[in-house]
A and B are shown apart, each in its own frame.
Chain A
Amino acid sequence: MNGALAVARYTLLELSRRRILLVFFILGALGIVCLGVGLKILYSVASSQGSFSAPDVDPAAFNRFLELAFVNYVFSALGVFGLLIAFAIGMTAIYHDLESGAAVSIFAKPVSRFAFAAGKIGGAVTALVLIVGVLALETRFVMFLFGGGLEGSLTGEAAAVVANTMVVMLIVLALSTWMNNIVAAVVAFVYYNVITGVIAFVHSLADNGAINNNVVKTIFDVLYWLVPHELVSSAPGDLARAQIAMSPAQAGNSALAAIPQASGSGEIAWWAFVVVFFAGMVYYAIRRRQV
């Protein structure tokens, strides 16, 4: 236990001094502020000149639309910068100890490989939560620039970003104990963002009745439960409901049915399983590693 805590503590200290992480954090912080301020200026100018709206659109409804669009952008920015930070942590937290030879001195100490893996994962997750937490706090302040009334959704969205990026980070951590860290990041990106993304997309099409072929549906049902699922907060649903509320007359049953649902307990349980699985992979790789 003490060994794991020591590894976690010094992993966190080292990560706090890594330039790549600092650069991504600064990029994230500046990006969110610039996005907020930039959109505010752009929308204020456009809104006052009426360049975005048709003459028959109610200005109050148009402003509401702008507010919701802003919330959408800023939540997306949080997700993108969270992902970058997860990659940066995953690429550096274990790989450099193994490649530089630092692991030789560490593993010769009376610390188990399990404690080392647990400490590394603990330190990496703490760093991720802290950084995404600070960016979420900053997002909250930037949201004062606009209304939107979706401030309550931010907590759930930040939690979803942490949960999703944690999976990516664990995949990169596990792969980087076997291969070069850049290759690990590319493989993780292709696996999580491309392959998993395509499977989830086709699965959702099949679920919505867009695919009628039963064989294809079954294949993608199986594939869907073999890959990590991105957790969805209530924010996309809240945004969709707010947009529908702007023009209730045009909102049919199909629009209401298409409102994205927040992840349920099944999805959260699957996420927990995936996290435990990849954390186990990290431990297995470290345990097998001869230095």
Chain B
Amino acid sequence: MAVVSVERLRKRYRRRDPWAVDGVTFELEPGQAFGLLGPNGSGKTSIVKMIAGLLRPDEGTVQLFGSDPGQPASRREMGFAPEDPDFPKFLRAGEVLDYFASLLGLDETDRKRRIPETLEFAGLDKERRHIRQFSKGMKQRLGIAQAILGRPKLLILDEPTADLDPLGRRDVRALIDRLKDSGVAILLNSHLLSEVELVCDTVAILAKGRVLKEGTMAEVVPEGRNLEDVFVELIQANTPQHDQLPSFITEQDKS
């Protein structure tokens, strides 16, 4: 059984708006790392939010472990690290993890073991401040920490390294590799193409909510080229480009 099955998915936020997601279909198998690529506004986050049960599709179906993601039980084995994560502002990192461990239904023994280890992995074990005093990078690390707390069989990472320093990025890459090896399916949304190339087996390139190209890394990136070249070429061919500089930038100083 596929971990995630998405079929002819469509979503728009207002009736007059264009489709944010338009007829997307793909499947994700256990142990597979799937990369969703696309420029800003291409519908990547909308897709993962529909898979996580946070948004309702207008058309098409999403199956998470064979069930509707709107059912809480179907999300039991899913970990989701959102883009720009945030948490209740007046809690501490350990309290956030304890809160989420309770929502995951972890018992006392599991909580006592997993929470300190997860905090240590995220580099937040000595942090005593409230979340409202956290930097974006610290929140991002906590976002990844809460996503892995329940030992998920599917880990969804939406721009997981956007606010991380190089060491944090390396840790996330190592985490993805380890989880993949243990059979966890990974769904990765990222602008960092080099990162996607390193960790994903399969990719889908999106623009304006549609899949432009999908396949294994070898199918999408021909021999002798890299993912960035393919991505730029595809996007430029499918979306209008605005690469002209504003005129005032190139104006000569009159004084």
Interface set of A (CB-CB < 8 Å, partner B): 2-3, 5-7, 9-10, 13-14, 17-18, 96-97, 100-102, 104-112, 115, 290-291
CA distance A12 to B73 in the complex (A): 26
- Contact indicator A104/B72 (Cβ below 8 Å): no
> Are A13 and B95 in contact, CB atoms less than 8 angstroms apart?
yes
B143: chain A residues at CB < 8 Å are 105
Which chain B residues in 69-122 approach chain A with CB under 8 Å? 72-76, 78, 80, 82, 84-91, 95, 99-100, 102-105
A166 to B141, CA, bound (A): 38
A6 nearest CB neighbor, chain B only: B102
Which of the segments B51-59, B180-188, B189-197, B210-218 contacts the partner chain? B51-59
Cβ contact of A291, chosen from B54, B73, B75, cutoff 8 A: B54
Cβ contact of A105, chosen from B74, B87, B105, cutoff 8 A: B87
Q: A13 to chain B: which residues have CB within 8 Å? A: 90-91, 95
Contact residues in A for B100 (Cβ distance below 8 Å): 105-106, 109
Is the Cβ of B78 less than 8 Å from the Cβ of A10? no
In the complex the two chains form, what is the Cα distance from A181 to B56 in whole Å?
25
B85 & A2 in contact (Cβ 8 Å cutoff): no
**Pair A10/B95 contact, Cβ less than 8 Å:** yes
In the assembled complex, how far is the CB of residue A256 from the closest CB belonging to chain B, in whole angstroms? Answer: 52
Known: A102-B86, A108-B53, A291-B54. 11 other contacts (CB 8 A): A2-B102, A3-B72, A6-B103, A9-B99, A10-B99, A100-B87, A105-B80, A107-B53, A109-B100, A110-B74, A110-B103
25 cross-chain CB contacts under 8 A: A6-B99, A6-B102, A6-B103, A9-B102, A10-B91, A13-B90, A13-B91, A13-B95, A96-B89, A97-B88, A102-B88, A105-B85, A106-B103, A107-B52, A108-B80, A109-B72, A109-B103, A110-B73, A110-B75, A111-B72, A112-B72, A290-B49, A290-B56, A291-B54, A291-B55
Residues of A within 8 A of B99 (CB): 6, 9-10
Q: Pick the contact of A108: B52, B84, B88 (CB < 8 A).
A: B52
B146 in contact (CB, < 8 A):
yes
Contacts of B76 in A (CB 8 A): 110
- Which A residues touch B95, using CB under 8 A? 10, 13
Chain A positions within 8 Å of B85 at CB level: 101, 104-105
Judged by a CB distance under 8 angstroms, whether B130 is at the interface is yes
Shortest C-beta distance, B140 to chain A (Å), equals 12
Q: How many Å lie between the Cα of A37 and that of B125 in the bound state?
A: 49
Give the CA-CA distance A6 to B75 in the complex, in Å: 17
In Å, the complex CA distance between A96 and B130 comes to 15
Known: A108-B78, A110-B72, A111-B72. A101 touches B102 (CB 8 A): no
When distances are taken between beta carbons in the complex, the residues of chain B under 8 Å from A3 are 72, 102-103, 105
Let me know if A96 and B88 touch, CB within 8 A.
yes
CB within 8 Å for A102 and B105 given contacts A107-B53, A107-B54, A109-B75: no
**How close is A232's CB to chain B, nearest CB, in angstroms?**
36
| Chain A min CB distance to B184 (Å) | 16
Q: Contact check, A108 vs B54: say whether CB atoms are below 8 A apart.
A: yes
A109 to B82, CA, bound (A): 12
Residues of A within 8 A of B146 (CB): 105
The residue of chain A having its C-beta at the shortest distance from the C-beta of B102 within the complex is A6
B residues in contact with A102, CB < 8 Å: 86-89
Task: Evaluate contact between B86 and A101: CB separation under 8 angstroms.
Answer: yes
Q: Say whether B75 contacts A108, CB under 8 Å.
A: yes
Q: A105-B82, A109-B100 are in contact. Are A18 and B90 (CB under 8 A)?
A: yes
Residues of B within 8 A of A115 (CB): 72
Specify which chain A residues have a CB less than 8 angstroms from the CB of B72 in the assembled complex.
3, 109-112, 115
Shortest Cβ distance from B84 into A: residue = A101
Q: Chain A contacts of B49 at CB under 8 A?
A: 104, 290-291
